[in-house]
Amino acid sequence: MAIVVSDLSTLDTTDVQTQLETIRGMLESLEPDIDLNRGVLHDLLLYLSAVLATANQTNVDLVRQSNSLAAIEEDPTLADDDVLDRLASNYRTTRKEGSQATGSAVVVLTASVPTVVPFGTVFTSNGVTFTTPSVFVGRTNEDDVITDTDKLIQTSPSGIISFTISLTAEEIGDNGNISMGAQLTPDTTLTNVSSVYAAATFGGGTDEETNTELSARLLAGTSAKCLSSRSSIDGMIRAEEDFENILQTSVLGFGDQEQIRYHSILPVAFGGRMDLYVRTTELWEESVVVKTATLQSKVGPVGTWALTLTRDDAPGFYQVTKVCQEGEGAIEDGYAAILTAGFSVTVNTGEDATASTTFIPDLDTADEARFSRYSTATVTFTDTDTDASGLTNGVSTRDYDVVVRKMPLILEIQDFVAGRDVRNPASDCLVKAPVPVFLTVDITINVLRNSTEPDEDDVKQTIMDYVNGTGFTGTITAAAVSGQVHNVLPTNSYVDDITLTGSLLNPDGTTTAVGPSSGTLSIVEDAEAMISSRTVCFFCAAEDITVTLETIDAP
Amino acid sequence: MALEDLALFQQNLNGTVVQALATPANNGYTVTGVIKLVQRFLLELLTEKGELVYLPERGTKFLPLLRNGAATSWEVNAAFAIALLDLEPNLLAEEEDSDLELDEQYQAAELKNIQVTPGMLTATIAIQNKAGFIYNVSLPLVFRLL
């Protein structure tokens, strides 16, 4: 237990001397005839008793601190795990044990023949291992797909043969939330299998709750759970089981420049509007949506197509990263259509045949709705892989895999806060994903010749954990990133240089370059465009980190 | 009234002295007067400075200096003189604002004689109290290679 004093040489000297005087005073009253000021009794009896008494008192003080939420908040390292767990139980709260990530993987085959992936097959991606929770059999004939573990083998228009399986991470932790397209390497040779990729971003992986996180949750938990103050709003959302793992919230309402949804002929802020920005996961989620595109125009065999992402396709989406032939969205080497520069974003609050029956926030423009569940988009792209010669503009249609990058749970949280029993009668509440800055990191690490080289995966994970855990902020520093990386570097290696480069995705759909910088990377705030340290979060994925190791000689 | 302290040294039947609070022959004694002063002096002299972690000013460098190769009587004299620089302020500080009898209060000390033989050093120290009485104590120190 961390709260027990195990080394008597680490006590506070002043405390020991104070205890010595206290014990001397008490013993002198009890035994006035013995000399306790000097000599054998002083050095052997009084001194050693004072040391032990101080150790006991220190233990008592540590236990007392561990039972205080205020003291724990000041210094979470003082809190012993067991003591904090018992304190949390007083508030009917238990430490989150963490969970294993799960997801779907695409198994690419060399031939369209029945293929078996045995139960318990281990796959590895970026040092994280996953297993199949059951046997999966790829079937060539739909009539042979009988059980849940039978999967129909499909062939994409470009000839890629594949079927999907489910995987579960072997260990708990958020490092199991691998990105869509991440390559998975089996530990055994699988017959007829050429490669395996994550079909979409894996999810559900969480780390065991630390003392810092548990104490923060306790403090939030004691607040009233309602849409009133910022802490109570945060506590209310976290109290819901489906949202208990969200990372940070930021509420902007009356008095905040970033709150622009005052639709009145008078240029004044009259309240009643609340924007709730939520970072639900460390990294965005990528998934594939199958959409039907309509041919817009063609030049020879090359057609330009357009499709619409509805507000239900990817609520809270950030961007479309690629459009592929149907069935190839997750495949790294699959064909990707040419997206036109940007894509138009509109707002749809539900004035269509499937109008929402829940309370709808006041929305006027596409910019206001951006990153919320009310945002829609028209995506235009050029498909150089499909011969459009015989197709008709405005009539011909074709299905495509659209890979969308988004923040999960935006729809679910919006529906929750719009509920009649939950929402504030005096205000609407619009839930949004954070305004993202997509960060790339170039880091150079010097390693002394013949020394142990750093593990690049560890370095990347450390950078990701730090950047994606910074919350709502407009600034990130290379020094802070460097400090984190040094904690995982072996002896005789050090960070030589870091360059941070950001791309801010504005609510109006444009992008703004941020940096590059080897010092402090900061956004240019524009509160009236809803860009500020209260709306912006930094995101960094493993593929956006470049680690360069340089060998150096001793001077 | 003189306050009593535990006797740190016990005399064996054969006349030798051993550092012990009690022996098989007796359950220990208490000491007062000049003997208590001598005991305090020896305790302070033979405690290595820093050994009492939470009383960092206590003790002297006498034993460490001897251990590090004081081979001549001159070097032993020097070590004793250096030790007195730490020892005397500590003893006097203990007596400050106290109601000790004069024969228990420290006045001065002098290294009278040194006998150095292989593996052993016998120092004769004269300790004077404020009553004017000088007590000579013979301090045998045995050194062994471990």
Separation between Cα atoms, residue A366 and residue A375, nearest integer Å: 7
> Are A152 and A163 a contacting pair, CB within 8 Å?
yes
Check CB contact under 8 Å for B52 and A50.
no
Report the pLDDT value the prediction gives residue A346, as an integer from 0 to 100. 56
**Nearest chain A CA: its distance from B6 CA (Å):** 6
Separation between Cα atoms, residue A51 and residue A47, nearest integer Å: 6
The pLDDT of residue B60 is above 50: yes
Report the pLDDT value the prediction gives residue A352, as an integer from 0 to 100. 39
* Mean pLDDT of the residues in chain A: 87
> Are A484 and A449 a contacting pair, CB within 8 Å?
no
Q: What is the mean pLDDT of residues A511-519?
A: 94
Check CB contact under 8 Å for B53 and A9.
yes
Write out pLDDT tens, residues A478-487: 999 999 999 9
Q: What is the mean pLDDT of residues A540-550?
A: 93
If one compares A88 and A20, the residue with the highest pLDDT of the two is: A20
Report the pLDDT value the prediction gives residue A87, as an integer from 0 to 100. 82
Report the pLDDT value the prediction gives residue A93, as an integer from 0 to 100. 80
Class of residue A241 by CB neighbours under 10 A (exposed 0-12, middle 13-18, buried 19+): exposed
**Nearest chain B CA: its distance from A3 CA (Å):** 21
Q: Which residues of A touch B3 (CB under 8 A)?
A: 33-35
Residues of B with CB under 8 A from a CB of A: 1, 3-8, 21, 30, 36, 39-40, 43, 47, 52-56, 58, 94-95, 98
> Are A150 and A102 a contacting pair, CB within 8 Å?
no
Out of B5, B52, B54, the one facing A39 most closely (by C-beta) is B5
Percent share of chain B, pLDDT over 90? 42
Q: What secondary structure letter does DSSP report for A210? A: P
Q: Which residues of B touch A11 (CB under 8 A)?
A: 54
> Are A145 and A139 a contacting pair, CB within 8 Å?
yes
Report the pLDDT value the prediction gives residue B139, as an integer from 0 to 100. 84
Which secondary-structure segment (H or E) carries A505?
Answer: strand A493-505
Please name which of A375, A253, A414 lies closest in space to residue A261, comparing C-alpha atoms: A253
Separation between Cα atoms, residue A28 and residue A34, nearest integer Å: 8
Report the pLDDT value the prediction gives residue A19, as an integer from 0 to 100. 93
Class of residue A108 by CB neighbours under 10 A (exposed 0-12, middle 13-18, buried 19+): buried
> Are B8 and B43 a contacting pair, CB within 8 Å?
yes
Q: What is the mean pLDDT of residues A293-318?
A: 90
Q: Which residues of A touch B52 (CB under 8 A)?
A: 43, 47
Check CB contact under 8 Å for A39 and B53.
no
Separation between Cα atoms, residue B35 and residue B7, nearest integer Å: 9
Report the pLDDT value the prediction gives residue B20, as an integer from 0 to 100. 79
Please name which of A452, A453, A482 lies closest in space to residue A549, comparing C-alpha atoms: A453
The pLDDT of residue A520 is above 90: yes
A9 to chain B, any CB pair closer than 8 A? The answer is yes
Tell me which residues of chain A, numbers 43 to 82, contact chain B at a CB-CB cutoff of 8 Å: 43-44, 47, 50-51
Q: Which amino acid is at B98?
A: S
Separation between Cα atoms, residue A296 and residue A337, nearest integer Å: 15
Please name which of A366, A22, A425 lies closest in space to residue A227, comparing C-alpha atoms: A425
Class of residue A500 by CB neighbours under 10 A (exposed 0-12, middle 13-18, buried 19+): buried
If one compares B29 and A540, the residue with the highest pLDDT of the two is: A540
Helix axes A47-66, A81-89, angle to 10 degrees: 40
Identify the band that residue A1 occupies on the pLDDT scale cut at 50, 70 and 90: very low
Q: What is the mean pLDDT of residues A91-112?
A: 90
What is the CB-side half-sphere exposure of residue A509 using CA atoms within 13 A? 17
Check CB contact under 8 Å for A39 and B39.
yes
Locate the chain A residue with the closest alpha carbon to B43. Answer: A39
DSSP letters for A8-50: GGGS-HHHHHHHHHHHHHHHHHH-TTB--SSHHIIIIIIHHHH
The pLDDT of residue A127 is above 50: yes
Check CB contact under 8 Å for A17 and B55.
yes
Report the pLDDT value the prediction gives residue B12, as an integer from 0 to 100. 67
> Are A225 and A131 a contacting pair, CB within 8 Å?
no
Chains A–B, number of C-beta pairs less than 8 Å apart: 54
Percent share of chain A, pLDDT over 70? 92
Separation between Cα atoms, residue A193 and residue A162, nearest integer Å: 9
Q: SS3 of A159, please?
A: coil
Report the pLDDT value the prediction gives residue B68, as an integer from 0 to 100. 82
CA distances from B136 to B38, B41, B76, B113, B139 (A): 9, 12, 18, 10, 10
Give the pair of three-digit tokens for residue B53: 């972690």
With a CB cutoff of 8 Å and minimum separation 6, the contacts of A94 are A85, A88
Check CB contact under 8 Å for A39 and B36.
yes
Strands A100-109 and A545-552: unpaired
If one compares A410 and A335, the residue with the highest pLDDT of the two is: A410
The complex's ipTM works out to: 0.80
Out of B5, B56, B94, the one facing A41 most closely (by C-beta) is B5
Q: SS3 of A284, please?
A: coil
Check CB contact under 8 Å for B36 and A13.
no
Q: Which amino acid is at A175?
A: N
**Nearest chain B CA: its distance from A47 CA (Å):** 9
Please name which of A349, A373, A199, A367 lies closest in space to residue A285, comparing C-alpha atoms: A199
Report the pLDDT value the prediction gives residue A332, as an integer from 0 to 100. 60
The pLDDT of residue A383 is above 90: no
Helix axes A230-239, A410-417, angle to 10 degrees: 110
Q: Which residues of A touch B1 (CB under 8 A)?
A: 33
Q: Which residues of A touch B57 (CB under 8 A)?
A: none
**Nearest chain B CA: its distance from A17 CA (Å):** 7
Identify the band that residue A78 occupies on the pLDDT scale cut at 50, 70 and 90: low
**Nearest chain A CA: its distance from B31 CA (Å):** 10
Identify the band that residue A437 occupies on the pLDDT scale cut at 50, 70 and 90: very high
**Nearest chain B CA: its distance from A167 CA (Å):** 58
Among A166-180, A355-369, B23-37, B71-85, which is the least confidently predicted range?
A355-369
Q: Which residues of A touch B21 (CB under 8 A)?
A: 40, 44
Q: SS3 of A285, please?
A: strand
The pLDDT of residue A423 is above 90: no
**A383 - beta bridge partners?**
A303
Separation between Cα atoms, residue B80 and residue B141, nearest integer Å: 13
A343 to chain B, any CB pair closer than 8 A? The answer is no
**Nearest chain B CA: its distance from A28 CA (Å):** 11
Q: Tell me the pTM.
A: 0.67
Strands, sheet with B120-129, edge to edge from the N-terminal-most edge strand: B106-117, B120-129, B134-142
**A445 - beta bridge partners?**
A495, A549
A510 to chain B, any CB pair closer than 8 A? The answer is no
Identify the band that residue A57 occupies on the pLDDT scale cut at 50, 70 and 90: very high
> Are A286 and A403 a contacting pair, CB within 8 Å?
yes
Which secondary-structure segment (H or E) carries B100?
Answer: none
Instruction: Report the 10 Å Cβ neighbour count for A494.
Output: 15
Write out pLDDT tens, residues A316-356: 899 888 888 887 776 665 556 666 544 555 555 543 334 55
CA distances from A336 to A147, A157, A325, A400, A404 (A): 33, 13, 7, 10, 13
The pLDDT of residue A398 is above 80: yes
